[in-house]
């Protein structure tokens, strides 16, 4: 058998991150005296370097390499750039929090880098094996990060729940993939699509495989009824880790949903869209109703995140109607725009929780935000912008994210689905506005000054202003998402 040397150029960013992970591992072995600072700065430099390499290798063409297991396209590149940004900002926000709790050890930053590498592999996967490898690399890193505070029983419990349920979901996904392979005789997504298109696949086995795959994807997105881990893990994990879980992995989960369902199983769209509809309605309804009863802000944001992922599914399920594919691009680009917007908002919301936390104190209850306007009017304004945006109030990025998805749903003819989403968004406005009310109209129970490094204050301010700015000028990001999909599909 002749060995074909793969083209390494499209995978330059992944190779660079993998090599730098080894460099960081060796660096904190030989430089133990200042290993913590060195690991942090090397990790941030790696993310910046990976972004430059991704931009440098970006050519707008669809390129396959590594025996069709790796795909380089504009959608993947845009998602990778957003992942770099999300992880870098998450590490910046969380560094002081980790330092206060003696958790800023080099191993944490190494795990963050390996998590990023796993997400990069997921985003660029064109084969079920490479997709699963990336998924497990990301998941195992997250399990370890959740349990990183070894002295916290709550974190250990959250990590065990996450690990056990995550292993179950990975098993479902892997079983579904094996059934799809058995039905089609192929493992790369383009060959799977060809087999289904030419009707050479075993339809019965394929349908069973599809059900298992959708269940596995639903867990990774954290949607109902596979949401059980989300509120417990969000609350139990250290807030800096919760910030990481709530942001970049959502983009990776969106990417594998696109790769598997749209790139690989598009001919079965009528079947998987009906499954996604069931998941989306349950997620939007239960997520918003359960969030009302929460007094813990991290749990509230967890349930609201379930609802937001329901909106992402609304975009994915609106692509094909009765075999008509003319609105597919608009629907999928609206889902991508929503996922990116949600990550930007989540960074700011959990960044504010991290900002108010200090050594020996977790600012994770809504009451901890009482009177924030009197302690810091500027950061109260930033948090208000975030809450307004998440509630979908004009004119912030969250409003246009919801609007773009609802337009796609209405174009697909699902008027009742759009009405349910709008009504539940009105319900959701209650618990977001409750946070604003507490900040501006309640007396502060904690009058301690807010201390944070200048870089965190600047980035958090820029994050909040970006939510407002992109709300005023959303067209650029919307067009970028649409163009990326046009060049990739």
Cα four-point dihedral sign 394, 395, 396, 401? positive
- Cα angle at 255 between 249 and 259, to 5 degrees? 145
In a domain, 4, yes or no: no
Are 23 and 33 in contact, with CB atoms under 8 Å apart?
no
CA distance linking residue 433 with residue 6, whole number of Å: 53
CA distance linking residue 397 with residue 399, whole number of Å: 5
What integer best gives the mean pLDDT of the chain?
A: 90
Percent helix, percent strand, percent coil in the chain, to nearest 5: 75, 5, 20
Query: Would you state the pLDDT for residue 285?
Result: 94
In a domain, 3, yes or no: no
Flag whether the pTM goes above 0.75. yes
Tokens encoding 92? 């910046």
For the chain, residues with pLDDT lower than 70 are 1-3, 33, 359-360
List alpha helices for 293-327, DSSP H: 297-316
Q: Which residues pair with 296 in a beta bridge?
A: 365
In a domain, 2, yes or no: no
SS3 sequence of 231-257: HHHHHHCCHHHHHHHCCHHHHHHHHHH
Query: Would you state the pLDDT for residue 363?
Result: 80
Query: Would you state the pLDDT for residue 2?
Result: 66
Query: Would you state the pLDDT for residue 269?
Result: 87
In a domain, 268, yes or no: yes
> How many structural domains does the chain have?
1
Residue 297 contacts by C-beta under 8 Å, 6 or more apart in sequence? 353, 364, 365, 366, 368, 369, 435
In a domain, 100, yes or no: yes
Q: Which residues pair with 125 in a beta bridge?
A: 70
The secondary structure of 9-36 as a DSSP string is: GGGHHHHHHHHHHHHHHHHHHH--TTHH
Query: Would you state the pLDDT for residue 308?
Result: 94
Q: Which conformational region is residue 127 in: left (phi greater than 0), alpha (psi within -120 to 50 degrees), or beta? A: beta
Query: Would you state the pLDDT for residue 207?
Result: 92
Query: Would you state the pLDDT for residue 360?
Result: 63
Q: What is the per-residue pLDDT across 269-296, written as a single tens digit (0 to 9) for each?
A: 889 999 999 999 999 999 999 999 888 9
Q: How many CB atoms lie within 10 A of CB 165?
A: 17
Range of 341's domain? Answer: 9-488
Of 276, 244, 278, which is closest to residue 260 (Cα–Cα)? 276
In a domain, 147, yes or no: yes
Q: What is the per-residue pLDDT across 380-398, written as a single tens digit (0 to 9) for each?
A: 999 999 999 999 998 899 9
Query: Would you state the pLDDT for residue 211?
Result: 93
In a domain, 430, yes or no: yes
Question: How many CA within 13 A on the CB side of residue 433?
Answer: 9
In a domain, 187, yes or no: yes
């Amino acid at each position: 058998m002749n060995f074909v040397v793969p083209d390494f150029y499209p995978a330059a960013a992944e190779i660079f991150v993998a090599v730098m992970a080894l460099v960081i591992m060796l660096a904190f072995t030989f430089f133990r005296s200042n290993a913590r600072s060195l690991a942090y700065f090397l990790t941030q430099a790696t993310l910046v370097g990976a972004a430059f390499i991704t931009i440098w290798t970006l050519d707008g063409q669809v390129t396959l390499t590594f025996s069709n297991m790796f795909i380089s396209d504009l959608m993947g590149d845009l998602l990778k750039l957003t992942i770099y940004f999300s992880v870098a900002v998450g590490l910046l926000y969380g560094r002081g929090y980790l330092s206060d709790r003696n958790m800023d050890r080099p191993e944490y930053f190494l795990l963050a880098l390996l998590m990023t590498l796993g997400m990069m592999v997921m985003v660029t996967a064109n084969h079920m094996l490479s997709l699963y490898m990336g998924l497990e690399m990301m998941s195992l890193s997250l399990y370890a990060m959740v349990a990183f505070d070894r002295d916290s029983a709550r974190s250990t419990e959250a990590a065990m729940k996450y690990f056990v349920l995550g292993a179950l979901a990975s098993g479902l996904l892997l079983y579904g993939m094996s059934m799809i392979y058995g039905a089609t005789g192929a493992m790369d997504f383009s060959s799977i699509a060809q087999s289904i298109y030419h009707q050479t696949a075993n339809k019965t086995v394929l349908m069973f495989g599809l059900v298992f795959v959708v269940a596995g994807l639903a867990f990774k997105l954290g949607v109902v009824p596979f949401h059980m881990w989300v509120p417990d893990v969000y609350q139990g994990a250290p807030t800096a880790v919760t910030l990481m879980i709530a942001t970049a992995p959502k983009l990776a989960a969106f990417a594998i949903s696109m790769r598997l369902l749209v790139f690989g199983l598009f001919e079965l769209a009528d079947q998987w869209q009906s499954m996604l509809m069931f998941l989306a309605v349950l997620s939007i309804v239960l997520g918003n109703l359960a969030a009302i009863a929460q007094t813990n802000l991290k749990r509230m944001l967890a349930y609201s995140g379930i609802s937001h992922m329901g909106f992402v599914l609304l975009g994915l399920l609106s692509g094909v109607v009765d075999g008509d594919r003319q609105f597919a691009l608009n629907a999928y680009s609206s889902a991508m725009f929503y996922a990116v917007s949600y990550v930007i908002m989540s960074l700011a919301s959990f960044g504010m929780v991290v900002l108010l936390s200090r050594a020996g104190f977790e600012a994770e209850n809504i009451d901890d935000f009482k009177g924030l306007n009197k302690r810091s009017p500027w950061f109260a304004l930033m948090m208000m912008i975030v809450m307004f945006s998440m509630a979908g109030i004009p004119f912030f990025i969250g409003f246009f994210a919801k609007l773009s998805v609802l337009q796609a749903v209405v174009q697909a003819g699902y008027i009742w689905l759009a009405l349910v989403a709008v009504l539940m968004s009105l319900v959701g406005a209650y618990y977001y506005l409750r946070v604003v009310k507490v900040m501006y109209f309640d007396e502060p129970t904690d009058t301690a000054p807010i201390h944070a490094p200048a870089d965190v204050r600047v980035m958090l301010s820029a994050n909040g202003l970006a939510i407002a700015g992109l709300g005023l000028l959303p067209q650029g990001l919307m067009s970028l998402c649409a163009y990326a999909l046009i060049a990739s599909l």
